[in-house]
Amino acid sequence: MVDEALDLSPTLLHLPEGTRARIVQIDGGRNLARRLLSLGLRIGSEIHIVQQRKKGVVIANNDNRVALGYGVADKLFMLPLDQT
């Protein structure tokens, strides 16, 4: 069964620089979830997109900056947050 949130939520690759967003779904297995957890990223984490690159994206989570490759970034479904 496919989660309806996946149909509506963009992946990390599809959000522009400067966007703040929350991770709502990780489309990967346990190993990917563990790797992301070791970087401080989990479902519900709020991130800021610092830089979009050809082969990935640089994000900020709290005081940490993390570079994620294209394959990983394309498996993270995001909820863009309103900027006020």
Taking residues 22-35, report their average pLDDT: 94
Question: Tokens 């563990």 map to which residue?
Answer: 34
Its pTM stands at 0.84
How does pLDDT run across 53-76, given as a tens digit for each residue? 889 999 999 889 999 999 999 999
The predicted structure's pLDDT at residue 7? 57
If one compares 8 and 33, the residue with the highest pLDDT of the two is 33
Burial call 8-22: b when 16+ CB within 10 Å, e when fewer? ebebbbebeeebebe
Confidence grade of residue 1 (pLDDT, cut at 50, 70, 90): very low
Q: Which domains does the chain have, with CATH numbers?
A: 4-80 (2.30.30.90)
Residues 41 and 66: beta-carbon distance below 8 Å: yes
Backbone angles phi and psi of 33, in degrees to 5:
-60, -40
The predicted structure's pLDDT at residue 5? 47
